[in-house]
Structure 1
Amino acid sequence: MYRKKNMNWMKHWDFEILDIIFMEIAFFLSYSIRHKESLLQGEHMYTRLAIILVALDIVVVFFSQNYKHIIQRDAFTEILYTIEHVTIIQLLLLLYEYVLKESYLLSRTVFLLSWGVSIVACSFGRIIWKQIVRKILTKEKNQSNMLIISTPEHVDSCLKGVLNKKFRQFKISSISFLEDDNNAPNEVMGIKTLKGKEKLVEYIKKDVVDEVYIDTSGENYAIDDLITTFLSMGVTVHVGMGFLPDDLPNEFVENIGDQHVITTAVNAATGWQIALKRLIDITGALVGLLITGIALIFVGPAIKIASPGPIFFKQKRVGKNGRIFYMYKFRSMYLDAEERKKELMAQNEMSGLMFKMENDPRIIGSEKGPGKGIGNFIRKTSIDELPQFWNILLGDMSLVGTRPPTANEYEEYDLHHKIRLSMKPGLTGMWQVSGRSDITDFDEVVRLDTKYIENWSLLLDIKILFKTFKVVFEKEGSK
């Protein structure tokens, strides 16, 4: 799922909140210096002005371009923009008092001091916060991998346009030329190139691809096929204005660098929605880790007694768009479970790229009989999943999403299966609340995951969480 940019005036809401905080501090401080008392104890007029200041800031931001390209601006330019912003707000405050015929009551000391302190405080606040945001943006784990599809003739100008901004939320992972031309360069600006469609298909099957930028005026049918393929994988596609296919889902216009493109994705969410989903994840993870700690007191010794070895099981899993991470569980199987899995593949109850087996002999205590032993208990009650709250806190997983495949399962995926990985994997999801043990066809799992991704909303996540509690407590679909 693609993170859609906020509306222009809300794009840098963090800087707006920072400005408001510093201007309020400057106003309160200026009043206290002049009148030797707190503004909260002072005249009603100044208290009202402090509130009006917030409203004026929001209005000015809405109608101005003060925050446009703020991340790219240098310190001196930022000071000039801050002077402009603060001055407009202070003059509007003065105009407000003049219209109310109260301007003669306004202290010049308060007005001029708050003006100057606001400029200094907001300038430093913006510059410091900008450095923090830049570091966050340029961290590798926060950048999406973008594949460029272009032609040898146009690739230089394409890259210059896309990479014109120093601080970006993406990095170019590779460049693809659709024609297998031996004369085409092996790399451009230090970025390796792929020659021909076969190399392209091989690359997108094995490597992490979050977004694709198509900058070519090649044959329309070839581009149409490529867009369809990428969308079926859940990859976001940006199409240069030189080629505009029909019937793109969730399409909207935006900028990649200084290039205007049409962006299309299986689903798109605003920055607010993504931020709120992450906030819910962090809150849920903290609560979940507390429960995990309590469970560890009882489950840990029981696992140790039944099967000497580590309490926790760590396994490589595949996350968003092919990123590898370690997923944690309470160990419910014997230490040689992975080796024994090969012997049991003939008894796999799932059709496709997942393994599931009722009365699995690898489960700790399974020799006591069907459903017996600590391993079966923690699996039936889903206690084994609790350590994954640590993965959620780290940001590798979400509370709600699609279940992450193992590395071996992922290697066998067809291209359309990769749509499952277009969102962060989840502790629970559509498949889990739809009778997971009753589903024996992997393609049905993919269908349910695709339905979730295409219809994602915060409300849907909340519904799935409530259904998960019901499934867990009633032990539905767990074998």
Structure 2
Amino acid sequence: MTSRYLPLIDFKPDLRSAKGTRIQRGLALRVLRIITLILLDAMSLTLAWKLAIFYGTPLDSPWTERSSFQLLTLAVAIGMMAAQGLYEAGIHRRNYARLIKAVSLSEFFLLLIAFLYEPSRYVSRSSFILFWLFSVAFICVARLSFDVATNLVRTKGAIRYPVFLITDAEDQQSSIRLIEKENCYNLMGVAEASSLDRYKRESTLEFLRNQGIVEAFVSWNAIKNRLYISWHFMSAGITLRILPTEREVLPPKTVLWMIGEVPCLTIPAPIIAGSDFWVKRGFDLCCATILLLLLAPIYLLISLLIKLDSPGPILFKQKRIGLHCKEFKIWKFRTMVANAEKLQASLEAKNEIKDGVLFKLKDDPRVTRVGKFLRRYSLDELPQLFNVLIGEMSLVGPRPLPVRDVERFQTTHFIRQEVLPGITGLWQVSGRSDIENFEDGVKLDITYIENWSLWLDLKILLKTVSVVLQKTGAY
């Protein structure tokens, strides 16, 4: 009779079972960090207590006479700091605002305990206040000293965690830069996302175990079966850190909050919606009007030079794609020969933008002598102040592109057309013509849209002046 059960060797072990019992990688270093921080906090609190009692108003009390009450003081303060996550790795232990909050709350609880235990016999008010001030000061100084010492040791190559990166090829450089910002990792290697495919997972995990990897940084897109992969990393004792992909743009000002026990993202609404934009528009109108009045003599001088240099109109009007993909005419001082647009087709093969979306040519033969000077100092853009006045453009925003360029857009590129185009922008002050890949420019435009504020606009305007004067990337 045929058995209804398969042989035992055909069964794989439970997903949650590890191949042997393993202690979490890097645990010893983490425990050493926590113990060191607790000892520093205990020493700081003890010193603060003794100084507070010495300088405060003397008062006979079991709180100052018995060591058990001093131990209670330490336990409450350290317990409160642990509850606030101040012994965790990274930025958590350096959160000085939360540190002050935890120490203050522990002082409040001690005051409450003292009142309930012995309401008529406690430390004096001056001693209590001094203890709170000394505690905050000493603990913050101790934490700062610990961080400075740790960073100095890590620059020498010690107390670093060996880590490994698994991500798509196009995201590797940005992920490496992100990991290197945190001065506590030794990047032992990089692999492509395919290393976590179904038939390669076991060999990849075995390699990481043999290399002694403590943490693995894996991009979100690299994990095809997230639950399966996370269990295998946990079973191997390796901490899994999932990196967000740059291609997935989160909404601006996103805040993490909880619905019950489920984490969700929310975008808080401003008290007065759209108020910042109307302030920006008012700023644009005022600045454009003032600049047109002040620069009128320069406009006349440039017009005369263009007319003397080459035949053709003074101003150049070109169709550009603006807000919501609507066409408008952008105004510029003419810097090329009169038939420049007709000649572009013959120069397409020399385009220096790698992906071909934009057209840029460093030694463009169509540019006139005066045009080269105007372009070098971005003086050819001055007539666009009229575009700002009539609401087609802003002083700061993504640059409006010609029809030829927008026709080559991919779907993800059109987000830049949902805001008012600008005379200058984050792209222009981050490299101007030196950017050779259109995708890099789009990332800067998206960064601007995500993080827009009036202060960011002002910083870009100030940096534009510096970039123009230095002639950075201009041609």
TM range (shorter): 0.3 to 0.5
When the two structures are superposed, what TM-score results if normalisation uses the length of structure 1?
A: 0.43
Higher relative contact order (CA 8 A, sep 6+): 1
